[in-house]
Amino acid sequence: MKYLSGLSILIASFVQVANAEIIYDESRQRNIPVAVTYPVDKSACSIESKCPVAFLSAGYGISHLQYTFLANELNQLGYLTVAIGHELPSDPPLSVTGNLFDTRSENWRRGANTLDFLKIKLSKRLTSYDFENLLLVGHSNGGDISAWLGNENKDYIKNIITLDHRRVPLPRNPSMAILSIRASDYQADKGVLPSEREQLTQGSCIVKIPESRHNDIADFGPQWLKSTIVSLVRNHLNGQPCSALK
């Protein structure tokens, strides 16, 4: 039984890595690591009936291949999922001093440009999937990148889910569904999260998970935390109101 369990883990890991590739952005001379995983029922996706798409942005210093617990759930829900590694060895390190909003803006802008590029590039190749109604999901710095692009008011962004991002204000846009799942060990910067009043008037939702840690939101985190996040994401995408999520 131990052998079978280990084999299952190995196979699951191989499937994820097998979908890994590098997409070259010629305009910026930039190699972008991605891992594309498909809906469980790919046969339901066609040009006439396109399946939804989620862009999953990794946290800083964490591999984009370390969020399979989320990618798998999104695939179960019918999404094509594109996990994206934003930082390259040639990039400057993320600033840890000064006014972090100012000193990290270059990183977030670069990441937003990457998401925009991938939307255009992949939509030409994956024609059975709906890139005009994107879901952006991001952990930590990946959530900041997602929020940054969301604030550019791109018509193709319909939903944003952040996992304990802390620096970039979430869009205040009632036409965009927004869920921010919060860990318990750090606070977001002032103005990043919508107030209770804004949540009511704009339809956004903030949910804090008690006794959870920012750095545990990845495949290597505790199972109870991953299960809680998956449940929140599933219920949000299935249309449950914020009151039910909390």
User: For the segment 199-243, what is each residue's pLDDT rounded down to a tens digit?
Assistant: 999 989 999 999 999 999 999 999 999 999 999 999 999 999 999
Give the tens place of pLDDT for each residue, 74-130.
Answer: 999 999 999 999 999 999 999 999 899 999 999 999 999 999 999 999 999 999 999
Residue 151, domain member (yes or no): yes
Residue 17 lies in a domain: no
Segments forming the whole domain that contains residue 133? 22-245
Q: In this structure, is residue 15 part of a structural domain?
A: no
Q: What is the pLDDT of residues 36-88, one digit of tens each?
A: 999 999 999 999 999 999 999 999 999 999 999 999 999 999 999 999 999 99
- Are 97 and 103 a contacting pair, CB within 8 Å? yes
Cα separation, 215 vs 65, in Å, equals 15
What contacts 208, CB < 8 A, 6 or more positions away?
Answer: 181, 182, 183, 184
State the pLDDT at residue 19: 83
Structural domain count of the chain: 1
Type of residue at 243: S
112 in any annotated domain? yes
Residue 14: in which H helix or E strand, if any? helix 2-18
Residue 3 falls inside a structural domain: no
Average pLDDT over residues 169-191: 96
- pTM (two decimals): 0.92
- 3-class SS shares of the chain: helix, strand, coil, % to 5: 40, 20, 40
Residue 8 above 70 pLDDT? no
Q: Domain of 88: which CATH number?
A: 3.40.50.1820
Please tell me what DSSP assigns to residue 127: T
The β-bridge partners of 178 are 160
Residue of 127, 124, 112, 95 lying closest to 55 (CA atoms) = 112
Task: State the pairing for strand pair 51-57/129-139.
Answer: parallel
**Cβ distance 18 to 1 under 8 Å?**
no
Alpha-carbon distance of 223 to 4, in angstroms, equals 20
User: 122: left (phi > 0), else alpha (psi -120 to 50), else beta?
Assistant: alpha
The closest alpha carbon to 84, from 40, 149, 132, 133, belongs to: 149
